[in-house]
A = this chain, B = another copy of it.
Amino acid sequence: VELLGVAVRWPLVGAPMAGGPSTPALVAAVGDAGGLGFLAGGYLSAETVAAQIAQVRAATDAPFGVNLFVPQPPEVDRRALENYLERLRPAARAAGVELEATWDDDGWTDKLEVLMQDPVPVASFTFGSPPADVVRNLQKAGTKVVVTVTTPLEAQRAAAAGADALGVQGIEAGGHQATFSDRVDPDTGWGLLALVEAVRRRVSVPIVAAGGLMTGAAVAAVLTAGAVAGQIGTALLRCDESGAPDAHKAALADPSFDRTAITRAFSGRRARGLVNDFMRLHPDAPSAYPYINNATRALRRLSAARGDPHGFNLWAGQGFRLARSGPAADVIAALGAELTACGVGVR
Protein backbone atom coordinates (compact mmCIF):
# COMPACT_ATOMS: atom_id res chain seq x y z
CA VAL A 1 0.00 0.00 0.00
CA GLU A 2 1.21 3.48 -0.81
CA LEU A 3 1.07 5.80 2.16
CA LEU A 4 2.34 9.39 2.16
CA GLY A 5 4.42 8.67 -0.91
CA VAL A 6 6.10 5.58 0.50
CA ALA A 7 5.33 1.87 0.20
CA VAL A 8 4.29 0.12 3.40
CA ARG A 9 2.60 -3.17 4.17
CA TRP A 10 -0.03 -1.80 6.56
CA PRO A 11 -1.86 1.52 6.70
CA LEU A 12 -0.42 2.04 10.18
CA VAL A 13 1.62 5.01 11.32
CA GLY A 14 3.70 4.79 14.47
CA ALA A 15 3.05 8.03 16.31
CA PRO A 16 5.96 10.31 17.17
CA MET A 17 6.03 10.26 20.98
CA ALA A 18 8.39 12.96 22.16
CA GLY A 19 10.28 12.84 25.42
CA GLY A 20 11.66 9.33 25.10
CA PRO A 21 9.17 6.68 23.91
CA SER A 22 9.87 6.95 20.15
CA THR A 23 13.41 5.60 20.08
CA PRO A 24 15.22 4.97 16.78
CA ALA A 25 14.85 1.27 17.61
CA LEU A 26 11.05 1.61 17.85
CA VAL A 27 10.89 3.56 14.60
CA ALA A 28 13.00 0.92 12.83
CA ALA A 29 10.95 -1.93 14.31
CA VAL A 30 7.67 -0.36 13.18
CA GLY A 31 9.12 0.13 9.70
CA ASP A 32 10.50 -3.41 9.49
CA ALA A 33 7.10 -4.75 10.55
CA GLY A 34 5.40 -2.92 7.69
CA GLY A 35 4.18 0.29 9.31
CA LEU A 36 5.49 3.81 8.95
CA GLY A 37 7.49 4.80 12.02
CA PHE A 38 8.09 8.37 13.15
CA LEU A 39 10.98 9.86 15.03
CA ALA A 40 9.87 12.45 17.59
CA GLY A 41 12.06 15.50 17.01
CA GLY A 42 10.43 17.55 19.75
CA TYR A 43 12.56 18.47 22.82
CA LEU A 44 15.70 17.05 21.16
CA SER A 45 18.60 19.16 19.88
CA ALA A 46 19.06 19.39 16.12
CA GLU A 47 22.23 17.31 16.50
CA THR A 48 20.34 14.55 18.28
CA VAL A 49 17.63 14.59 15.62
CA ALA A 50 20.32 14.16 12.95
CA ALA A 51 21.94 11.37 14.97
CA GLN A 52 18.62 9.56 15.43
CA ILE A 53 17.88 9.80 11.71
CA ALA A 54 21.26 8.16 11.08
CA GLN A 55 20.50 5.46 13.65
CA VAL A 56 17.19 4.57 11.99
CA ARG A 57 18.86 4.42 8.59
CA ALA A 58 21.58 2.17 9.96
CA ALA A 59 18.95 -0.15 11.43
CA THR A 60 16.54 -0.46 8.51
CA ASP A 61 15.90 0.31 4.88
CA ALA A 62 12.24 0.98 5.67
CA PRO A 63 10.94 4.52 5.09
CA PHE A 64 10.17 6.65 8.14
CA GLY A 65 9.17 10.15 9.14
CA VAL A 66 10.32 12.85 11.52
CA ASN A 67 8.01 15.01 13.61
CA LEU A 68 8.80 18.56 14.70
CA PHE A 69 7.05 20.97 17.06
CA VAL A 70 6.05 24.35 15.63
CA PRO A 71 7.28 27.12 18.00
CA GLN A 72 4.74 28.67 20.34
CA PRO A 73 4.37 32.40 21.07
CA PRO A 74 6.43 33.57 24.07
CA GLU A 75 3.59 35.74 25.41
CA VAL A 76 1.82 34.19 28.38
CA ASP A 77 -0.05 35.32 31.47
CA ARG A 78 3.05 36.00 33.58
CA ARG A 79 1.15 36.28 36.81
CA ALA A 80 -0.65 32.96 36.34
CA LEU A 81 2.68 31.36 35.46
CA GLU A 82 4.40 32.81 38.55
CA ASN A 83 1.53 31.65 40.77
CA TYR A 84 1.86 28.16 39.41
CA LEU A 85 5.63 28.11 39.85
CA GLU A 86 5.06 29.22 43.44
CA ARG A 87 2.90 26.16 43.98
CA LEU A 88 5.57 23.90 42.47
CA ARG A 89 8.41 25.40 44.52
CA PRO A 90 8.09 23.31 47.72
CA ALA A 91 8.36 20.07 45.75
CA ALA A 92 11.29 21.41 43.74
CA ARG A 93 13.06 22.53 46.92
CA ALA A 94 12.48 19.16 48.56
CA ALA A 95 13.89 17.41 45.51
CA GLY A 96 16.82 19.81 45.26
CA VAL A 97 16.07 20.87 41.69
CA GLU A 98 15.51 24.23 39.99
CA LEU A 99 12.35 25.35 38.20
CA GLU A 100 13.70 26.70 34.93
CA ALA A 101 10.65 28.30 33.40
CA THR A 102 12.24 29.35 30.13
CA TRP A 103 10.84 29.84 26.66
CA ASP A 104 12.47 28.24 23.64
CA ASP A 105 11.56 27.59 20.03
CA ASP A 106 12.47 23.92 20.26
CA GLY A 107 15.40 24.49 17.88
CA TRP A 108 12.97 25.12 15.02
CA THR A 109 15.36 26.63 12.47
CA ASP A 110 18.20 24.21 13.11
CA LYS A 111 15.93 21.18 12.90
CA LEU A 112 14.37 22.37 9.67
CA GLU A 113 17.91 22.77 8.39
CA VAL A 114 18.63 19.14 9.31
CA LEU A 115 15.57 18.05 7.30
CA MET A 116 16.57 20.24 4.34
CA GLN A 117 20.20 19.12 4.29
CA ASP A 118 19.41 15.44 4.56
CA PRO A 119 15.77 14.88 3.58
CA VAL A 120 13.62 12.12 5.05
CA PRO A 121 10.58 10.65 3.26
CA VAL A 122 7.99 12.30 5.52
CA ALA A 123 7.97 15.22 7.96
CA SER A 124 5.06 15.88 10.26
CA PHE A 125 4.31 18.91 12.40
CA THR A 126 2.59 19.43 15.71
CA PHE A 127 1.25 22.57 17.49
CA GLY A 128 0.61 24.46 14.27
CA SER A 129 1.13 24.53 10.55
CA PRO A 130 4.53 25.51 9.19
CA PRO A 131 4.40 28.51 6.82
CA ALA A 132 3.67 27.71 3.18
CA ASP A 133 7.28 28.39 2.12
CA VAL A 134 8.63 25.87 4.64
CA VAL A 135 6.12 23.31 3.35
CA ARG A 136 7.13 24.05 -0.23
CA ASN A 137 10.86 23.80 0.49
CA LEU A 138 10.46 20.44 2.18
CA GLN A 139 8.37 19.19 -0.72
CA LYS A 140 11.01 20.38 -3.18
CA ALA A 141 13.55 18.39 -1.18
CA GLY A 142 11.42 15.29 -1.74
CA THR A 143 9.72 15.19 1.67
CA LYS A 144 5.97 14.69 2.11
CA VAL A 145 4.54 17.11 4.67
CA VAL A 146 1.91 16.10 7.24
CA VAL A 147 0.31 18.68 9.54
CA THR A 148 -1.48 17.55 12.69
CA VAL A 149 -4.87 19.17 13.26
CA THR A 150 -7.59 18.92 15.90
CA THR A 151 -10.41 21.02 14.40
CA PRO A 152 -11.94 21.57 10.94
CA LEU A 153 -10.59 25.14 10.92
CA GLU A 154 -7.04 23.96 11.57
CA ALA A 155 -7.50 21.46 8.75
CA GLN A 156 -8.37 24.29 6.38
CA ARG A 157 -5.33 26.28 7.47
CA ALA A 158 -3.01 23.29 7.01
CA ALA A 159 -4.46 22.54 3.60
CA ALA A 160 -4.01 26.20 2.63
CA ALA A 161 -0.35 25.98 3.65
CA GLY A 162 0.05 23.13 1.17
CA ALA A 163 0.21 20.06 3.42
CA ASP A 164 0.30 16.72 1.56
CA ALA A 165 -1.73 15.05 4.29
CA LEU A 166 -3.32 15.81 7.65
CA GLY A 167 -2.79 14.04 10.91
CA VAL A 168 -6.31 14.31 12.31
CA GLN A 169 -6.09 13.97 16.08
CA GLY A 170 -9.13 13.32 18.26
CA ILE A 171 -9.62 14.11 21.93
CA GLU A 172 -8.91 10.44 22.67
CA ALA A 173 -5.20 10.83 21.93
CA GLY A 174 -2.51 10.49 24.56
CA GLY A 175 0.12 13.17 25.14
CA HIS A 176 -0.22 16.72 23.92
CA GLN A 177 -3.25 17.78 22.00
CA ALA A 178 -1.87 19.19 18.76
CA THR A 179 -4.13 22.26 18.75
CA PHE A 180 -2.50 25.17 16.94
CA SER A 181 -3.03 27.36 19.99
CA ASP A 182 -3.57 26.19 23.55
CA ARG A 183 -5.27 29.47 24.37
CA VAL A 184 -7.24 30.98 21.54
CA ASP A 185 -9.45 28.40 19.87
CA PRO A 186 -12.26 27.09 22.07
CA ASP A 187 -13.41 24.61 19.39
CA THR A 188 -11.46 21.82 21.03
CA GLY A 189 -12.41 18.37 22.14
CA TRP A 190 -13.53 16.75 18.89
CA GLY A 191 -13.99 13.01 18.98
CA LEU A 192 -11.94 11.33 16.26
CA LEU A 193 -14.70 9.94 14.08
CA ALA A 194 -16.77 13.13 14.02
CA LEU A 195 -13.60 15.10 13.30
CA VAL A 196 -12.66 12.86 10.37
CA GLU A 197 -16.17 13.37 8.95
CA ALA A 198 -16.02 17.14 9.41
CA VAL A 199 -12.50 17.48 7.99
CA ARG A 200 -13.33 15.36 4.95
CA ARG A 201 -16.22 17.68 4.21
CA ARG A 202 -13.95 20.74 4.30
CA VAL A 203 -10.74 19.62 2.57
CA SER A 204 -9.72 16.87 0.17
CA VAL A 205 -6.26 16.24 1.64
CA PRO A 206 -5.59 12.62 2.73
CA ILE A 207 -6.19 11.95 6.41
CA VAL A 208 -4.13 9.95 8.90
CA ALA A 209 -6.46 9.42 11.86
CA ALA A 210 -5.06 9.48 15.40
CA GLY A 211 -6.49 9.12 18.87
CA GLY A 212 -7.46 6.09 20.92
CA LEU A 213 -6.77 3.51 18.20
CA MET A 214 -5.72 0.33 20.00
CA THR A 215 -7.03 -2.53 17.84
CA GLY A 216 -7.13 -3.44 14.17
CA ALA A 217 -10.92 -3.09 14.32
CA ALA A 218 -10.59 0.55 15.32
CA VAL A 219 -8.05 1.22 12.58
CA ALA A 220 -10.38 -0.54 10.13
CA ALA A 221 -13.13 1.78 11.36
CA VAL A 222 -11.21 4.96 10.53
CA LEU A 223 -10.27 3.54 7.12
CA THR A 224 -13.96 2.87 6.54
CA ALA A 225 -14.65 6.48 7.52
CA GLY A 226 -12.25 7.60 4.80
CA ALA A 227 -8.82 7.91 6.42
CA VAL A 228 -5.79 6.57 4.52
CA ALA A 229 -4.18 5.25 7.69
CA GLY A 230 -4.52 5.00 11.45
CA GLN A 231 -1.81 6.34 13.74
CA ILE A 232 -1.00 4.37 16.86
CA GLY A 233 0.90 5.77 19.83
CA THR A 234 -0.25 4.40 23.16
CA ALA A 235 -0.62 1.01 21.45
CA LEU A 236 3.21 0.99 21.10
CA LEU A 237 4.07 2.51 24.47
CA ARG A 238 4.59 -0.77 26.33
CA CYS A 239 6.64 -2.33 23.54
CA ASP A 240 10.17 -3.56 24.19
CA GLU A 241 11.60 -0.86 21.90
CA SER A 242 9.62 1.96 23.49
CA GLY A 243 11.79 4.33 25.50
CA ALA A 244 9.04 5.15 27.99
CA PRO A 245 10.27 4.90 31.59
CA ASP A 246 9.57 1.54 33.24
CA ALA A 247 7.25 3.20 35.76
CA HIS A 248 5.23 4.60 32.85
CA LYS A 249 4.99 1.21 31.14
CA ALA A 250 4.01 -0.45 34.40
CA ALA A 251 1.32 2.14 35.17
CA LEU A 252 -0.37 1.47 31.82
CA ALA A 253 -1.11 -2.07 33.01
CA ASP A 254 -1.60 -1.26 36.72
CA PRO A 255 -5.26 -1.46 37.86
CA SER A 256 -4.66 1.39 40.31
CA PHE A 257 -4.36 3.68 37.29
CA ASP A 258 -7.80 3.40 35.78
CA ARG A 259 -8.47 6.55 33.79
CA THR A 260 -6.96 9.34 31.77
CA ALA A 261 -7.62 13.05 31.84
CA ILE A 262 -6.42 16.15 30.05
CA THR A 263 -4.11 18.38 32.07
CA ARG A 264 -1.79 21.35 31.77
CA ALA A 265 -0.02 20.46 35.03
CA PHE A 266 3.17 19.06 33.51
CA SER A 267 3.75 21.24 30.48
CA GLY A 268 1.39 24.23 30.45
CA ARG A 269 -0.33 22.78 27.40
CA ARG A 270 -3.32 20.44 27.24
CA ALA A 271 -2.19 16.83 27.21
CA ARG A 272 -3.80 13.51 28.09
CA GLY A 273 -2.28 11.15 30.59
CA LEU A 274 -3.08 8.66 33.31
CA VAL A 275 -4.53 10.44 36.32
CA ASN A 276 -1.82 10.46 39.01
CA ASP A 277 -1.07 12.48 42.15
CA PHE A 278 0.79 15.28 40.36
CA MET A 279 -2.15 15.79 38.02
CA ARG A 280 -4.68 15.69 40.86
CA LEU A 281 -2.60 18.17 42.87
CA HIS A 282 -2.56 20.74 40.06
CA PRO A 283 -5.97 20.86 38.42
CA ASP A 284 -5.69 24.51 37.43
CA ALA A 285 -2.27 24.87 35.83
CA PRO A 286 -2.24 27.79 33.39
CA SER A 287 -1.63 27.79 29.66
CA ALA A 288 2.11 28.54 29.47
CA TYR A 289 3.95 26.20 27.17
CA PRO A 290 6.89 25.61 26.95
CA TYR A 291 7.62 27.51 30.17
CA ILE A 292 5.97 24.98 32.46
CA ASN A 293 7.31 22.05 30.47
CA ASN A 294 10.83 23.36 31.00
CA ALA A 295 10.13 24.24 34.63
CA THR A 296 8.95 20.76 35.58
CA ARG A 297 11.54 18.82 33.55
CA ALA A 298 14.02 18.21 36.37
CA LEU A 299 11.24 17.17 38.75
CA ARG A 300 9.75 14.82 36.18
CA ARG A 301 13.09 13.23 35.33
CA LEU A 302 13.84 12.63 38.96
CA SER A 303 10.47 10.96 39.54
CA ALA A 304 10.87 8.79 36.46
CA ALA A 305 14.38 7.77 37.53
CA ARG A 306 13.08 6.91 41.00
CA GLY A 307 10.25 4.89 39.50
CA ASP A 308 7.58 7.09 41.07
CA PRO A 309 4.58 7.09 38.69
CA HIS A 310 2.90 9.89 40.66
CA GLY A 311 5.55 12.50 39.97
CA PHE A 312 5.78 12.65 36.19
CA ASN A 313 3.65 12.68 33.05
CA LEU A 314 2.19 9.28 32.20
CA TRP A 315 0.94 10.23 28.75
CA ALA A 316 -1.70 7.80 27.58
CA GLY A 317 -4.65 7.75 25.20
CA GLN A 318 -8.12 6.79 26.37
CA GLY A 319 -7.71 3.22 25.18
CA PHE A 320 -4.51 2.66 27.20
CA ARG A 321 -5.85 -0.45 28.91
CA LEU A 322 -5.61 -2.30 25.61
CA ALA A 323 -1.89 -1.56 25.13
CA ARG A 324 0.07 -4.75 24.45
CA SER A 325 3.62 -5.51 25.59
CA GLY A 326 6.28 -7.40 23.66
CA PRO A 327 8.24 -6.62 20.49
CA ALA A 328 6.77 -3.84 18.33
CA ALA A 329 6.84 -6.29 15.41
CA ASP A 330 4.32 -8.48 17.24
CA VAL A 331 2.02 -5.55 17.95
CA ILE A 332 2.09 -4.42 14.32
CA ALA A 333 1.53 -7.99 13.13
CA ALA A 334 -1.43 -8.41 15.48
CA LEU A 335 -2.98 -5.14 14.35
CA GLY A 336 -2.42 -6.12 10.72
CA ALA A 337 -4.11 -9.47 11.27
CA GLU A 338 -7.08 -7.79 12.99
CA LEU A 339 -7.29 -5.29 10.16
CA THR A 340 -7.38 -8.11 7.62
CA ALA A 341 -10.02 -9.94 9.66
CA CYS A 342 -12.20 -6.82 9.42
CA GLY A 343 -12.07 -7.19 5.66
CA VAL A 344 -11.24 -3.56 5.11
CA GLY A 345 -9.39 -2.99 1.87
CA VAL A 346 -6.18 -1.09 2.05
CA ARG A 347 -6.61 2.21 0.18
Contacts and interface: CB of A to CB of B under 8 A. Distances in A.
Interface of A: 152, 170-172, 186-187, 189-198, 201, 211-215, 217-218, 220-226, 258-259, 261-262, 275, 317-319, 321-322, 342, 344
Contacts of A187: 258-259
Q: Can you tell how many copies of this chain the complex includes? A: 2
B193 A215 contact: no
A154 to B, nearest CB: 13
Given A187-B259, A190-B318, A197 B214 contact: yes
Contacts of A217: 197, 224-226
Most buried by B among A221, A317, A318, A342: A221
Contact of A218 (B194, B258, B261): B194
Contacts of A194: 170, 172, 192, 211-214, 218, 317-319
A197 B212 contact: yes
A144 B214 CA distance: 31
Contacts of A190: 172, 318
Contacts of A344: 224
Contact of A322 (B186, B198, B261): B198
B322 A197 contact: yes
Given A190-B318, A192-B192, A221-B222, 5 more contacts: A193-B212, A193-B213, A197-B322, A201-B321, A223-B224
Given A259-B186, A344-B224, A319 B172 contact: no
A321 B189 CA distance: 16
A258 B202 CA distance: 13
Nearest to A215: B197
18 contacts: A152-B321, A189-B189, A189-B261, A191-B193, A191-B212, A191-B318, A192-B192, A193-B213, A193-B218, A194-B214, A194-B318, A197-B215, A198-B318, A198-B319, A198-B322, A218-B225, A220-B224, A221-B222
A321 B186 contact: no
B212 A221 contact: no
A342 B224 contact: yes
Name the residue in A194, A275, A319 with the highest tally of chain B Cβ atoms < 10 Å from its Cβ.
A194
Contacts of A186: 259, 261, 275
B224 A322 contact: no
A196, A220, A262, A318, most chain B CB atoms within 10 A = A318
B215 A221 contact: no
B322 A201 contact: yes
